[in-house]
Amino acid sequence: MPSGVPSTPSRTSIRKQRRRSHRRLRLGFASVASVATIGSLLAGVSGSSATTDPSYKTPAQLDAWYAPPANLAILSNGDIIRSRENDINVSGFQSKSWQLLYKSTDAKGQPVADSTTVLIPPTAWTGSGRRPLVSYQAAEDSVGANCAPGFALAGGTNAGIAGDAPGISQVLQRGWAAAVPDYEGPESQFIVGPQAGHAVLDGLRAAQHFTTAGLSSQTPTALWGYSGGGNATAWAGELAASYAPDLKLAGIAEGGVPADLQMLVNLIDGGPFAGFDFVGVLGLWRAYPEMVIDKVVNAQGKALLDANENSCLTSILLQGAFKKLDDLTIRPGMINEPIYQQVLALNKLGQRKPNAPVFNYGAMFDEIVPTQGNDNIVAAYCKMGATVYKERYLFAEHATGLLWGFYGSLNFLSDRFAAKPAPSNC
């Protein structure tokens, strides 16, 4: 193992760390394992647009605070529209927090009002330099706007982000600030890479501009996310150089990344986690209405759409289990038709060089997210000259891949904030 790899500790040290923190993290990790058993760690699906799912309830329809202003289009990306203070408890750790509504752009470059939750530890920062900021991308696991992290956190419950609450809590316990973006946007566009990447990056801009929280453009900043949150994290990493060159990222920790959607379909279609196929199609349709999903689903597919426009993921997984996409469409093999292949290609990772060191981790044998897709983006990043440290866990599946990479991610980011040389095993 190369020098300077405290960010990727040995299995022995991980076991020791896990035992020391077992009591504090046991409940959160138990929630992760139970949720992942039904596949909910892949990342939530999203809501819909007026042109696709007319019954979808946008965030603004649920809470007027989310309503975009009339002058949205003339604002700069990352400009704060409004804020409100909340009192939030994450896995037993109390922190000062604010929700920020800010200007961003969707997958097609159109202006949208996205939101993020900024959390600050109650104690003063005692480390060197400025207090670091981690953008933590939670796996929403939802198709309804009310299932987004902002709603879960503001409501005083971590139920909607049970698998990610321990990670957010540990960020805060290290004295770092956290930003938890609702990166699927106002139409809850699940697995739409450009939408997620833009939302994450503009959420960081907004957080840095929010001087009330003691942050600034000089704040050391990093990204972290697993599964669906790993997808959003990886997209932000790939888009940062071109979309937000003003942001200087210290590091990127991304795990269990659904990097190749075609591979994902091939792995889970017709299996116990096939509901992800359906919610993925629904999320993509909301970003790319030219997919005209409402015109190509059969009666069974339409019933599934109509019943789940505002649902969280669990119900969709239960209803979609063991179904094939061909069961829901008017003709077989539609995913191979040009329009759908084009959309899948637009949302495939590994096409741009991340502008910060990457820690890419996950299970060697993942039953939900194809490990080969993760390996492919690592190979692509290495070929582009990026600094990447890859770690695969032999005795893990999707849920325990999150657990195995927990301390490795925290230590990797800590080393990056300390300006230590980043390890690479390209």
Number of domains within the chain: 1
Strands 221-226 and 249-255: parallel
329 beta partners: 297
Residue 403 domain flag: yes
pLDDT for the residue 67: 97
pTM of the model: 0.88
Residue 134 domain flag: yes
Residue 293 domain flag: no
Residue 129 domain flag: yes
pLDDT for the residue 34: 33
Cβ(55)–Cβ(192) below 8 Å: no
Residue 373 domain flag: yes
pLDDT for the residue 9: 41
Residue 320 domain flag: no
Residue 358 domain flag: yes
Cα gap 20→120, rounded to integer Å: 24
Non-local (6+) Cβ contacts of 160 within 8 A are 140, 141, 142, 147, 148, 149, 151, 152, 312
pLDDT for the residue 311: 79
Q: Cβ–Cβ contacts within 10 Å for residue 156, how many?
A: 11
What CATH number is given to the structural domain containing 182? 3.40.50.1820
| Domain assignment of residue 225, given as a range | 11-261+345-417
User: Which tokens hold the place of 373?
Assistant: 């897709």
Non-local (6+) Cβ contacts of 71 within 8 A are none
User: Which tokens hold the place of 74?
Assistant: 């003339």
Local structure of residue 297 (DSSP, 8 states): B
Nearest residue to 252 (alpha-carbon basis) of 392, 381, 84, 90: 381
Cα gap 329→351, rounded to integer Å: 30
Contacts of range 82-88, beta carbons closer than 8 Å, 24 or more positions apart: 83/210, 83/212, 86/117, 86/153, 86/154, 87/156, 88/117, 88/119, 88/153, 88/154, 88/156
Residue 340 domain flag: no
10-residue mean pLDDT profile of the chain (426 residues): values are: 38 43 39 34 34 77 95 98 88 86 97 97 92 96 84 69 87 96 95 97 97 95 97 98 97 97 94 89 93 93 86 82 93 93 97 97 96 97 98 95 95 97 96
